[in-house]
Structure 1
Amino acid sequence: MSTPHAIRIHEHGGPEVLRWEPFDPGAPGPGELRVRIGAVGLNFIDTYHRSGLYSLALPSGLGLEGAGTVEAIGEGVSEFAPGDRVAWGTGPVGSYADVRVMPADKAVKLPDAIDERTAAAMMLQGMTACYLLRRTYRVQAGDTVLVHAAAGGVGLIACQWAAALGATVIGTVGSKEKAGLAAAHGCAHPILYREEDFVARVKEITGGAGVAAVYDGVGRDTFLGSLDCLQPLGTMVTFGNSSGPVPAIEPLLLAQKGSLFLTRPTLFHYTSKRADLLATAGELFDVVASGRVRIEVAQTFPLAEAASAHRALESRATTGSTVLLP
């Protein structure tokens, strides 16, 4: 068998710091699995880890999400056995590899109906959409919500899921092609944010009422406008910062704009308990297996060429989910 390889970084920086290197994953210790990885999910948080926005102890692997087959189990592991198909989406980092050792309590068994590429494309983004729509602000039938980056990985899943729950979805996109993609995935009102004032369009679409919630993974470029899209007592969910960190605000601003709720959640807190992880993954598997949500693997890259994938993601050249293949 060939020597295991992984993408590793020895310094923070641009995509050029990603190195494809041989490494020894070692044997699984107590409570751990050794997994042969079949597919790896690409996420914006990977670029934050690489750049140092979210700092890692160096040298480090990358990647929080993937799917594969259990090769070996460590002492005390009873939930899994060699040969089981598993997926994970909450880390720890190290998924950019062809083999990895990881905590068993971060993995979930894959249902037969879901293949490894689909799983790698949906675990982090799909569980993110799940907690956002089902727990952070619980979408109800009849709600109108705004989803930024509606043609992205989380966006396409969230638009479909919110529509399936009976909500009207407004989404921002960067091109006519992305508008068509979002519209085909449950977004009733795509807004071309480069050509239109998204705040004015939201007010127009809602007859001046505003939306019940904004789901914003973009950050700095959209945050203040998003507050102006909300109805009184609306919920502002800022869950990412692909355009840069959100500027500081005074809490009084939330009162002035309608006694708004503001939260900055992470998937890790929503799945830190094993029971919550299993429930979130289970709800995601159900909605995908039922066909209510389709997972779009729009791009694949060889894992060794992860730098090219990072460049594509950061330049807004991707849609849907991107999978890296060892």
Structure 2
Amino acid sequence: MAKTIRIHAFGGPEVLTVEDLDLAAPRPGEVRIRQRAVGLNFIDVYQRQGVYPNALPLVLGNEAAGDVVAIGPDVTEFAPGDRVAYGTALGAYAEERNVPARLLVHLPEAVSYEVGAVMMLKGLTAQYLLRQTYPVKPGDTILVHAAAGGVGLFLCQWGHALGATVIGTAGSPEKCDLARQHGADHCIDYRREDFAARVKEITDGALCHVVYDAIGKATFPASLDCLRPMGMFASYGAASGAIEAFDINLLARKGSLFATRPSLFAYAAKREALVAMTEDLTTAIGSGAVRPEIHARTPLAEVAEAHRALEARETTGSTILVP
């Protein structure tokens, strides 16, 4: 039996229930993991609400780290005792679970389980945004919305290390201080200031090469006003609600802009890509350019309260669930 968090209906945090479930032996291509730390992400909220619907009953969570305790037939890359992590395998809210081996990576001894549990979705999201969606170069100016959040802090640190001028936005002076401590050269309190106007002031009218936006409805279309001609708008989340349909000619009117809605699931779909992205991330962590920090630890059984705090934007940095 494994203690697991399941939902039987879409809705608020109250639908999260603690259950003891029997766990079958790993099937061909699967690995059983005893989980040491589980990452909390906004995609968990979307899936709980049914915004990204999945079949019910459903075990939430996409990101975790732990130890291999058993392997299924045909698994050759992993063995019992290996330290592993993953970021795109739904079903992480559990003490133990089976995971397709193709979605796992080896966790270096120098990387803790806690860091492993927050780097595989949040850190790899920062990796594809900074290194692939818009490859950041020295001298670029980038805008990071939700700069004090889990992905936001990765983006600020790594963007700074890549030589960019990093402008962040956050919802309080305290969150702005945190963003600046993690590489943001400037931080705009969007509750008190017009962020588009401030970006124009900060850049002397030159504006940004790219905007990384996890907020969605509340920051669109003002984010487009922060971009220089041929700039890139990368929308990777919708904490305030989804961006509604818009006239694509708006991109032309605002300077022949590019707009994309990328996802980690697409960028890491091929195993070789997942492994290469993880190696790039762990290299950045090993060099000290990126220093993942855990700002809250919540017992897995109390995950509903963690969801409430995340939705209310009361959290900063990364939160882990402890099985």
Interval containing the TM-score (normalised by the shorter chain): over 0.9
In structure 1, the partner of 2:303 is 306
**Residue 6 of structure 1 aligns with which residue?**
4
CA distance in 1, matches of 2:187, 2:116: 27
- Which residue identity lines up with residue 108 of structure 2 in the other structure? P
Percentage of pairs with the same residue: 59
Give the distance between the partners of 1:88 and 1:209, measured in 2 at CA.
39
In 2, Cα distance between the equivalents of 1:67 and 1:275? 20
Q: What does residue 59 of structure 1 align with?
A: 57
Paired AA for residue 306 in structure 2: A
In the TM superposition, what is the alpha-carbon distance from 1:8 to its structure 2 partner? 0.2
2:125 matched to 1:125?
Answer: no
Please name the residue that 2:37 is paired with: 39
Displacement of 1:223: 1.8
C-alpha separation in 2, matches of 1:246 and 1:127 = 23
The aligned residue for residue 84 of structure 2 is: 86
2:156 matches 1:159 = yes
Q: Does the 8 Å CA contact 1:216/1:223 hold for their aligned counterparts?
A: no
Matching of residues 107-186 of structure 1 within 5 Å: 107-186=104-183
Q: Letter of the aligned partner of 1:77 in structure 2?
A: V
1:323 aligns with 2:320: yes
> What's 1:290 paired with?
287
C-alpha distance in 1 between matches for 2:234 and 2:171: 20
Equivalent-residue separation in structure 1 for 2:217 and 2:75 (angstroms): 43
Code of the aligned partner of 1:4: A
How many Å apart are 1:122 and its aligned residue? 1.6
Equivalent residue in structure 1 for 2:214, among 202, 212, 217: 217
Please list the CA deviations of residues 78-98 of structure 1 after superposition, one character each: whole Å capped at 9, or x if unmatched.
00000000000011x110000
RMSD: 0.5
**Paired letter, 2:34:** R
Q: How many residues align?
A: 323
Q: Paired residue for 2:194?
A: 197
Partner-residue secondary structure (3-state), 2:265:
helix
1:122/1:321 contact within 8 Å kept? no
Where in structure 1 do 4 or more consecutive aligned residues deviate above 6 Å? none
TM-score by length of 1: 0.98
Q: Which runs of 5+ in 2 are unaligned?
A: none
C-alpha contact (below 8 Å) 1:50/1:62 kept by paired residues: yes
Please, what TM-score do these two structures have when normalized by structure 2?
Answer: 0.99
Q: CA deviation at 1:251?
A: 1.1
- Partner SS for 2:221: helix
User: Residue type of the partner of 1:41?
Assistant: G
Structure 1 residue 179, shift from structure 2 partner: 0.7
Determine the C-alpha separation between the residues in 2 that align with 1:259 and 1:22: 54
Residues 166-199 of structure 1 show CA distances to partners (whole Å, capped at 9, x for unaligned) of: 0000000001110110000000000000000000
Structure 1: which 5+ residue stretches go unaligned?
A: none
The Cα shift of 1:121 comes to 1.7
Counterpart-to-counterpart distance in 2, 1:325 and 1:208: 46
Q: Which of 54, 67, 70 in structure 2 is aligned with 1:69?
A: 67
Match of 1:278 among 270, 275, 278: 275
